[in-house]
Chains A and B, each alone.
Chain A
Amino acid sequence: MSETTATEKRSWRETWQKIAMGSALTSVLAVVAALIVGAILIAAADDQVQKTAGYFFARPTDFLWAVCSKVGSAYAALFQGAVINFGAASISEAFAPLMDTLSMSVPLIFAGLGLGMGFRAGLFNIGGQGQIIFGAIICGYIGFAVPMPPVLHMIVCVLGAFIGGALWGFIPGALKAWTGANEVIVTIMLNYIASYFLAFLLTLDAFQVPDSNVPVSPLIQSTARFPSFFGTRVDLGFVLAIAAAVGVWYLMERTTLGFSIRAVGLNPDAARTAGMSVPGSTIWVMVIAGGLAGLAATSQLLSSASATLTAGIASTFGVDAITVALLGRSKPLGTVLAGLLFGGLRAGGYLMQVLTDTPIDVILVLQSVIVLLIAAPPLVRAIFRLPDPERRKKKREKKALKAREAVA
């Protein structure tokens, strides 16, 4: 009797510890902390708040009311723009913001998955931007210049995006594997090369609208477009992104290649001694990660009727995806959730600016604060007064050891 209660108590405690100490909670708390910082900024930038602060000691309620109403309305607008619009006339209109969020999260999920794989393999791949651009170059060229029947065209474009990104991932992977070149520096430099290479291509006649001098490609042909669902902004791209997340999970957790990749990431010496090829793993990871990042380009090129290949095609997805991967703890599910959050921030940010006159830069601050807190888990623990997981872990180990010894 007493034994079962003790076991129950222990398992309950361990579960709690897992939640509390596990990095997932750090991620959630980082987001919460970022929202608080964002609220302070939103309030501080508001005229009404500034005015009421002037006579704070005379009528503090005015000030507090101004802060609450400002922050409340800004975040309400953010929510309304990202998830659901209660004032809409129809259900499909009410959920249109959520559809926007899903669609905006697609490139972040693709690129985040790729970068996260690299992180788990011990490779700090900063080259998401360049890999997206290269995916876009090949995908885009096939999309506007090579006529093909409908479904086939789309499939070839998607493959092209993967291959383009994979190629741009292979270069730093091979340089690292064969010469030991630092992947951080190589990928950063390759971002610039990809970016200027695209700018150069767009000056060529082959990449421009005939008889035009504007550095913008012709429209992507409609045969290559993703089918959308029920006329919303969500299309096959989102399904592919989720499928890619499942695929990455399976690859990392259930295949021998993923086993080697994780082993090499955690302990290259032991992996080598176990007969795994460290250079091989490095190259594979960079190729697959690059390909996934390349797929991010499809959402820019194949999701809209007016899509063209332009110099700004990759936006800041490559950089944002680093944050997404970090916030998602480099795991597929986490990356999807983080991608949705960031997609939501992007989607809701516009409405927040329009409705409440809140600068959209606040969104950028939110993202930056999240990165800062993720990168410094002790800071998050200090803010929320959480115990140190390392110490807890040691303690748990010692307790387990003691229990075992007592049994033996």
Chain B
Amino acid sequence: MKLELREVTKKFGDFTANDKISITVEEGQIHALLGENGAGKSTLMNVLYGLYQPDGGEILLDGKPVAFAGPGDAMAAGIGMVHQHFMLIPVFTVAENVVMGHEPTGPFGIIDVPKAREIVREISERFGFEVDPDAYVETLPVGVQQRVEIIKALSRQAKVLILDEPTAVLTPQETDELMQIMRQLKSQGTSIVFITHKLREVQEVADTITVIRRGKVVGEAAPTATQEELASMMVGRAVEMEVEKSPAKEGDVALSVGGLSLVERSGRALLEDISFDVRAGEILAVAGVQGNGQTELAETLMGLRRATAGSIRLDGQELADKNVHEIIDFGVGYIPEDRSKDGAIEEFSIAENLVLNQTRGEFSKHGSLRMGLIQKHSKELVEAYDIRTGSSNAELDTLSGGNQQKVVVARELSRNLKLLLAAQPTRGVDVGSIEFIHQQIVAERDKGTPVVIISTELDEVKALADRIAVMYRGRFVGIVPADTSREDLGLMMAGIMPGEKEAANE
């Protein structure tokens, strides 16, 4: 089925989220929609899926104009969508999830489970998925859950499949498998709209690339375009993919972690015997697939979780038995991985967020806040960190994601640090802000501060690290030099030391 969008326009008030966007997805084609966060990709797909009504333009399927009042209409017309956040019920089986909403029923409206199972099995076989219809969704890995979503869409005779940021939650291996599935679907005639901001994936799998910026189509590109070309189309200017940084001028060992373990009450080990040193003026990047203990490592270092065993020594001071506020006040800067949950308070003003963890120190006197100083501080930081806002007294949630993250970064870097711990410092941040934040982190290193970066983005790890540690199942697989190849790092993320593999093969 051929899908055509003609001059689709969607406005929110006087803000134009989609400005006369025209796209043609040919039958059996993978069409990548590339753009930064907030460029209008998701809005466009929500229009296509019937969640939003367009203010102008039309949608054509096989040359015939269609109008969708809701997702039901879109599904009936053969459009399926796999959302970034899965719409699955964890305690239901795969078969139950797939037929949900369209249950095959027997007498008295009883759900025909064998029929549901048959549907799953039939689609799995047709496309070469390996999915057990009777498995409970909560027991499945994320990659398989995504396949369940795809099966769900296909079971409703989807001819056009929209995948919204499908690789955000996947491991590199699962991403490869997804690419394989996409090619398989394509060969059977399904059209795919692939929404992403990851350049490499686009190059690997797309037939046509449409780049969207600020609600407009800025151009089409062939998969042969280089990453730099695509990136510059996305952001409107050439972006340095690498961070400019001089070799590290390393000092003495500043942070020394030894035998750090964290065991849950149930006996499950979240961190197992982690040991590493970080020198002053050095960036150690902790790489690994999400969910291998990185979050727990950061929280344990910050005192948010109490280590079961081991020591954390910073400048000769033991931190493992300290409270969060003692660790912060000692001089540990922390950029949490989830900004809106842990890093900032959206209803607080920018000025308040900029002193959120520092009201115990210079910003108060006899228990009262020093309002003048807080204002001055925020004006300086808004200026220095290029935080785009009308007023430092505006609420944080009036800022874009990148600017919100800059507030957190500014707060942490604006004081004298003995250690900087940054988890996913650029998650959900636009390319321009990523560059800026990376530069700030490198600048902090160059001041002689030891830095620990925790990131699941290999590009970020490669760009920032002086040394790379790879985590797998709560352990450090190894600590390797920054110039280690992506292939070797990929193996380590699966828990295999490159040398060991060869040894095992012999």
Residues of A within 8 A of B (CB): 254-257, 259-260, 262-263, 266-267, 269-277, 394-402, 404-405, 408
With an 8 A cutoff between CB atoms, is B367 at the interface?
Answer: yes
Cα distance A399–B15 in the bound complex, in angstroms: 6
Within B360-402, the residues touching A (CB, 8 Å) are 360, 364, 367-369, 371, 388-390, 397-398, 400
| CB neighbours of A254 from chain B (8 A) | 368-369, 371
Taking a contact as CB atoms under 8 Å apart, the answer to whether B15 and A395 are in contact is yes
Taking a contact as CB atoms under 8 Å apart, the answer to whether B343 and A273 are in contact is yes
Cα distance A292–B356 in the bound complex, in angstroms: 27
| CB neighbours of B369 from chain A (8 A) | 254-256, 259
Residue of B nearest to A271 (CB): B345
> What's the nearest-Cβ distance from chain B to residue A17, in Å?
12
Residues of B within 8 A of A (CB): 12-15, 214, 302, 304, 323-329, 334, 336, 341-348, 352, 356-357, 359-360, 364, 367-369, 371, 388-390, 397-398, 400
Cα distance A401–B398 in the bound complex, in angstroms: 9
27 A-B interface contacts by CB (under 8 A): A254-B368, A254-B371, A255-B364, A256-B359, A256-B360, A256-B369, A257-B367, A259-B352, A262-B348, A263-B348, A269-B342, A270-B344, A270-B356, A271-B345, A273-B342, A273-B357, A274-B357, A275-B323, A275-B326, A275-B328, A275-B357, A277-B325, A395-B13, A396-B398, A397-B397, A404-B388, A405-B214
- Contact flag A256-B368 (CB < 8 Å), given A263-B348, A399-B13: yes
Residue of B nearest to A253 (CB): B369
- Contact flag A399-B14 (CB < 8 Å), given A255-B368, A273-B324: yes
Q: Which of A266, A269, A277, A398 contacts B13 (CB 8 A)?
A: A398
- Contact flag A408-B388 (CB < 8 Å), given A256-B367, A273-B342: yes
| CB neighbours of A257 from chain B (8 A) | 367
| CB neighbours of A400 from chain B (8 A) | 390, 398
Taking a contact as CB atoms under 8 Å apart, the answer to whether A263 and B325 are in contact is no
> What's the nearest-Cβ distance from chain B to residue A338, in Å?
22
> What's the nearest-Cβ distance from chain A to residue B383, in Å?
15
Cα distance A270–B336 in the bound complex, in angstroms: 9
Taking a contact as CB atoms under 8 Å apart, the answer to whether A394 and B325 are in contact is no
Taking a contact as CB atoms under 8 Å apart, the answer to whether B368 and A274 are in contact is no
Taking a contact as CB atoms under 8 Å apart, the answer to whether A270 and B388 are in contact is no
> What's the nearest-Cβ distance from chain B to residue A293, in Å?
23
> What's the nearest-Cβ distance from chain A to residue B389, in Å?
8
> What's the nearest-Cβ distance from chain B to residue A391, in Å?
8
Residue of A nearest to B303 (CB): A275
Cα distance A270–B364 in the bound complex, in angstroms: 20
| CB neighbours of A398 from chain B (8 A) | 12-13, 15
Q: Which of A255, A401, A408 contacts B367 (CB 8 A)?
A: A255
Taking a contact as CB atoms under 8 Å apart, the answer to whether B341 and A397 are in contact is no
Taking a contact as CB atoms under 8 Å apart, the answer to whether A401 and B400 are in contact is yes
Cα distance A272–B336 in the bound complex, in angstroms: 12
| CB neighbours of A260 from chain B (8 A) | 359
Q: With contacts A255-B367, A270-B356, A273-B342 known, what are 5 further pairs, Cβ within 8 A?
A: A255-B364, A267-B347, A273-B324, A395-B13, A408-B388
Taking a contact as CB atoms under 8 Å apart, the answer to whether B341 and A270 are in contact is yes
Cα distance A163–B68 in the bound complex, in angstroms: 64
A-B Cβ contacts below 8 A, count: 89
Taking a contact as CB atoms under 8 Å apart, the answer to whether A394 and B12 are in contact is yes
| CB neighbours of A401 from chain B (8 A) | 15, 400
Cα distance A272–B323 in the bound complex, in angstroms: 10
Taking a contact as CB atoms under 8 Å apart, the answer to whether A273 and B302 are in contact is yes
Taking a contact as CB atoms under 8 Å apart, the answer to whether A274 and B14 are in contact is no
| CB neighbours of A255 from chain B (8 A) | 364, 367-369
Taking a contact as CB atoms under 8 Å apart, the answer to whether A270 and B345 are in contact is yes
Cα distance A396–B15 in the bound complex, in angstroms: 9
Cα distance A256–B357 in the bound complex, in angstroms: 11
Taking a contact as CB atoms under 8 Å apart, the answer to whether B356 and A274 are in contact is yes
| CB neighbours of B345 from chain A (8 A) | 263, 266-267, 270-271
Q: Which of B13, B324, B367, B390 contacts A272 (CB 8 A)?
A: B324
Cα distance A256–B369 in the bound complex, in angstroms: 6
- Contact flag A275-B14 (CB < 8 Å), given A267-B346, A400-B390, A408-B388: no
Taking a contact as CB atoms under 8 Å apart, the answer to whether A397 and B360 are in contact is no
Residue of A nearest to B397 (CB): A397
Residue of A nearest to B344 (CB): A270
| CB neighbours of A263 from chain B (8 A) | 345, 348, 356
| CB neighbours of A274 from chain B (8 A) | 324, 328, 356-357
| CB neighbours of A397 from chain B (8 A) | 397-398
Taking a contact as CB atoms under 8 Å apart, the answer to whether B12 and A395 are in contact is yes
Cα distance A405–B402 in the bound complex, in angstroms: 13
Cα distance A76–B268 in the bound complex, in angstroms: 72
Cα distance A255–B347 in the bound complex, in angstroms: 18
| CB neighbours of B324 from chain A (8 A) | 272-275
| CB neighbours of B325 from chain A (8 A) | 275-277
Closest 9 CB pairs of A and B: A275-B325, A274-B357, A395-B13, A398-B15, A273-B342, A275-B324, A256-B359, A275-B328, A274-B356
| CB neighbours of B304 from chain A (8 A) | 272-273
| CB neighbours of B348 from chain A (8 A) | 262-263, 266
Residue of B nearest to A397 (CB): B398
Cα distance A402–B389 in the bound complex, in angstroms: 12
> What's the nearest-Cβ distance from chain A to residue B374, in Å?
10
| CB neighbours of B302 from chain A (8 A) | 273
Cα distance A93–B400 in the bound complex, in angstroms: 60
> What's the nearest-Cβ distance from chain A to residue B46, in Å?
15
Q: Which of B329, B341, B346, B359 contacts A259 (CB 8 A)?
A: B359
| CB neighbours of A262 from chain B (8 A) | 348
Taking a contact as CB atoms under 8 Å apart, the answer to whether A269 and B328 are in contact is no
Cα distance A273–B13 in the bound complex, in angstroms: 37
| CB neighbours of B214 from chain A (8 A) | 405
> What's the nearest-Cβ distance from chain B to residue A56, in Å?
45
Cα distance A394–B395 in the bound complex, in angstroms: 13
| CB neighbours of A394 from chain B (8 A) | 12
| CB neighbours of B336 from chain A (8 A) | 273
Cα distance A259–B354 in the bound complex, in angstroms: 13
Cα distance A97–B113 in the bound complex, in angstroms: 74
- Contact flag A273-B334 (CB < 8 Å), given A395-B13, A399-B15, A402-B15: yes
> What's the nearest-Cβ distance from chain A to residue B45, in Å?
18
Cα distance A270–B323 in the bound complex, in angstroms: 15
Cα distance A6–B210 in the bound complex, in angstroms: 37
| CB neighbours of A270 from chain B (8 A) | 341-345, 356
| CB neighbours of B388 from chain A (8 A) | 404, 408
| CB neighbours of A273 from chain B (8 A) | 302, 304, 324, 334, 336, 342-343, 357
| CB neighbours of B14 from chain A (8 A) | 395, 399
Cα distance A260–B336 in the bound complex, in angstroms: 19
> What's the nearest-Cβ distance from chain B to residue A201, in Å?
37
> What's the nearest-Cβ distance from chain A to residue B405, in Å?
14
| CB neighbours of A405 from chain B (8 A) | 214
Residue of B nearest to A405 (CB): B214
Cα distance A171–B220 in the bound complex, in angstroms: 65
Cα distance A401–B40 in the bound complex, in angstroms: 14
| CB neighbours of B328 from chain A (8 A) | 274-275
Residue of A nearest to B400 (CB): A401
> What's the nearest-Cβ distance from chain A to residue B385, in Å?
14
> What's the nearest-Cβ distance from chain A to residue B391, in Å?
10
